[in-house]
Amino acid sequence: MTYETIEVHPIAGALGAEISGLDLTTLGNQSFSELHQAFLDHRVLYFKDQPLDDEQLEELTMRFGPFGDTPFVEGMPGHPNIIEVRKDADETSTHNFGGRWHSDFSFQEAPPSATFLSARVTPEAGGDTMFADMYGAYDALSDGMKELLTGRNAMHSGQRSYGTKGRFAKDPNITRMAIRPSEEGDVETPHPIVRTHPETGRKALFINQVYTVRLEDMTEAESKPILDFLNAHSTRPEFTCRIRWNENGLAIWDNRCTQHYAINDYHGHARLMHRTTCAGDRPV
């Protein structure tokens, strides 16, 4: 696509683009239309210098769609649709929020369509986020594997993180974020292993190592070899890009066809992000 009002610079061969040449607080209709097309084309967008306050972050999110539901994590006072993704300088846990490959809240009946992450405090080095292209991961599968997966569901659940026996229930001090595990986290929801993007019509793998617990009508042990292969395959380097954050940086990603991973390599330094999501559709 030829862009007239924005500048689009690809980050990697698979996915991702850095966007410049616009102010997200004064988006006109043409600029937003081009931005939305870049979002669909590149899946992950990064803006190096967009110092949005919380109201502006909410307004931008709502340009893309209504807010998504954020279970188990408390929203900010006065801004219930924004959560703080934080790690303080004196925290030493080997676990961080988002520190494994996943797509946001895939255990929901209608997982978020898009996620917005605005950097407030960043370490001098470290704390990058990696993304994986689930279109490319699907396309690279053999015809036999595609046939095996087509029409099959996998079960998604928040049990490993937010359930009654999940990591936040076992160790409430694992993070200072306001996370509230519950029995709702143990619920399993079926989704197609191969989903069709509702806007582009492209097929993408829809599994991840955090929330995909097994294949439908199979045990976890029976499912493990297939899921292990798909999880390793979908995060191969050639399917990924990496964002190095700077203060006032903003990322927007398509949760329907990507995974992401927040790297926990900045012990002794603070990192604070404000996150919103847009509501999505049930995967088909």
User: pTM for the whole thing?
Assistant: 0.96
20-36 pLDDT per residue, tens: 999 999 999 999 999 99
Q: Kindly list the distances between the CA atom of residue 69 and the CA atoms of 18, 88, 99, 110, 163, in Å, as whole numbers in the listed order.
A: 28, 26, 21, 9, 17
pLDDT for residue 131 is more than 90: yes
pLDDT for residue 1 is more than 80: no
Q: What are the boundaries of each domain within the chain?
A: 7-278
Please count the CA atoms within 13 angstroms of the CA of 93 that sit on its side-chain side: 18
Would you tell me which CATH number, out of the four given (3.40.50.2300, 3.75.10.20, 3.60.130.10, 3.40.50.720), belongs to the domain 7-278? 3.60.130.10
Q: What percent of the chain has pLDDT over 70?
A: 100
What is the pLDDT at residue 174? 86
Please count the CA atoms within 13 angstroms of the CA of 244 that sit on its side-chain side: 5
Average pLDDT in the 207-218 region? 98
Q: What is the dihedral sign for C-alpha 89, 93, 98, 101?
A: positive
The residues assigned a catalytic role are 102, 104, 260, 275
Query: Cβ distance 27 to 35 under 8 Å?
Result: yes
Q: What is the mean pLDDT of the chain?
A: 96
- pLDDT greater at residue 200 or residue 172: 200
